[in-house]
Structure 1
Amino acid sequence: MLQELNTSAQKITALYCRLSRDDDLQGDSNSIINQKNILQKYADDNGFKNTVTFVDDGYSGTTFNRPDWQRLMEFVNRDEVATIIVKDMSRLGRDYLKVGYFTEILFPENGIRFIAINNGVDSDKPTDNDFTPFLNIINEWYAKDTSKKIRAVFKSKADRGETLTFLPPYGYMKDPNDKHKWLIDDEASQVVKEIFRLCVSGLGMTKIANELNERKIIPPAYYKVIHGQINTNQDFSKSRWNSSTVSDILSKQEYIGNTVIYKPDSHSRKKHSKFKRLKPEEQIIIENTHEAIIDKDTFEVATNIRNCKRKNTKIGYIPKLAGKLFCSDCGEKLYYVCPREKYHTPAYFVCSNYRKHRCEKTHAVFEKDIESIILEDIKRITSFIKEHEEEFLIKVNDYSKAELNKALRDATREIETANARYKKLDSIIQNLYEDKIEGNLTDERFNKLSASYEQEQQSLEARIKELRDFIDKENKKYLNASYLINLVKKYTEINELTDEIIHEFVQKVVVHHKVKIDGVKTQQVDIYYNGVGHIEI
């Protein structure tokens, strides 16, 4: 008996404190200090010895992945805890299932006495604990309600167009007179512009990062530390540019003056999983909220380049037109076939679906031929723009209206057809129900048929929404002839098809299959230019 008392005396009395947010004081927050004082006084007044304090300041009660809680559990696993004392049940946690596991299973199994002072809970007095499960449920309801209120505040700010980010993106800094506004950082913004220039010139993410490292340009995180934009004990002095950092900069609409709201959204309040990026159509984009670093045309070209991923061939060569050529029939990309000296076959492109038997024709075109066609067409269109700029603007405007009217007409017609079918299905389902009531249709047959029709209705609803979104998008869309005109003025003469020329001028090229006309093989190629698309001149 004496040996058991001595063993118990060696165990600790754990005083556990938690607060979900820090206040403005240095170190522990005021509430944490109060909790410590309350717990220590209770322990002293009631004869609890060998006290050890555990503090989690700034951690939510909906998760138990807290540093000092984990440290306390290590003591429990080593059988070194006699008593755990908290100010109230909510300090232990706000997930009633997990709190119940600790208080009803883990602590009793390890012979640990649990006390929640303000709630009058003491595991050594079972009659006082009847209301404990209800306290746990109430605490979880409180957490859910708080979560909803926080989301409502965020939504309200988003509706007002206020930025929700704590730090502005690299290239911007906070306005010292208004923390909700961003100003351009002259030094960092020049680096952002250079990254976009290198991308448009044809360099990939890794090559851009290597170029910046060779120039000894300070990467974003270390730059923000040096200029006092962030305070951290983490050492960023050895950080380097990498492809992920470059890709992130090239993808930010903030650089064209837009604010993007609701990029992340938590999967679950309890899971505390990583934030996910929402689809573009689920984001709220507020245009022209601050001064742009990059013009929209350059941003669009860079985005198109990043979407057209290019890979090294077996011989280590990256084709200039990789990711730019598309099949006129199936819409898939044409892939590059290396030259074969053994058969004296030059390099060419072919439909990626042809060998998979998903496209009936090869749509093959020699690399040398397609490059020559594109170069000559760029020369032709640049010459026309230089000599007939006003006529070019009129043509683009007329073409834009014609294409928009066609797109809207087709989409509207499909919506009308879908709505008619939806109403027809309502009538069919109603007739099925009447047949079932009259005994002309078995329950099994009715369930099978109605489920099939209802599934079709769901598909129609989704398609109608998709078409309406498309119409809204097309109404806001416009062709930007000024981009191509300014681009033409940039070049005095174009004699070579470089990576930079391709990326700046060409959006995509649609290749048709070769056909014989009057005994002569011909091949149609439709070139779509950035800003204006495919336009006949």
Structure 2
Amino acid sequence: MTNSTTKLSISGVLKVRVDSTPDVVRRIFNSYLSGKGFDRIARELFEDGIATPSEIAGKRNSSSLWHGSTVRKILENQHYIGNLVQQKETSISVTTEKRKKIDPANYVVIENTHKPIISKDDFHVVQQLISERKRKRPYAKKHLFTNISFCSNCGKSMHYKANRKGYICGAYNKYGHTKCSDHHVRENGLIEAISNDIKQMFSALSTKSFQKDIEKKIANFIQRDQKQLTNILKVIENIKKDKTTALRMKIRGEIQDEEYRLLIEDNGIQLAKLNEEKLKLEKGLLQQKQTIDFTKLIQQIERFVQNPVLDEEMLHKLIERIEIKEDGSPRIHYRFSDPYISSIFLRVTHSTPRAPFVETCPLAACIRFCMRC
């Protein structure tokens, strides 16, 4: 829209478009003058189904979502007061197509080249408001679960809202019910759920019987995977023998070239699948045979139990991400580099009856080590 609200006539004089885009530009300016912010205006335009500048321009990757940054560009564009602005960018060098932006103070502005959509008085007031509001905007406080909590419906990050003492879906916050639902989770509730999980883990890890139980379960997995790997190696060896036999039959003229080709293709597909499974099993066995060391984790969790304050450092050491479901309950993905530790935590957080408030889950790759398997 920033470049499409006017068009060049045959005579070379710029004329205002005859579609609805000039009205949209006026609406944006009037909304901002009435006290609305960039994001609020963008949300209202999206909710009313107003086409975005990229849609009007017919771009391939156009989106129907309005953004606050797009609204701001329109509000700062002198094109709408009848001015032609040139030399916004310049070439870096003759050896590259990359360009760099020029300071707005150095733009070449030719005034009154076409009929204005917005009065100059309104435009200048808007520029003053943008500058004033920018200076008054307080520094955004980063809350504990910022950049680690996400909406399970749309995947957008959760935004902290002071009036709700918790987090709501970022897509809903910007675009309302047209994009997602109004579900939220309280910050204190998340802290309590995670703290309880950590305490349960420490309680379980403190017992030698639990550690032996885990080791026994892992030993069973090793035995099962080793047996499966042995079977795969036998099948691979048999397929290789079949290929050699088929080649001899082809040389002796016992099978036709087409039959040989189809046989080799089929064997190749089977070998590719078996080799992929073989690599997975070998990697898993290598991890499983590593020495289990609980000492470091126990010490770390013991410090938390003695001083139960969930700070940012502890949070990011233990948790990969939190997904907030539509009913407001969180699904917590704990972060552990060692699959054995993941298996322990998975069992601990499911070993006792839990309220429906929280569902815990370590990394997906480690679920196969779950004691419930």
TM-score by length of 2: 0.38
Kindly name which structure, 1 or 2, has the bigger radius of gyration based on alpha carbons: 1
TM-score by length of 1: 0.28
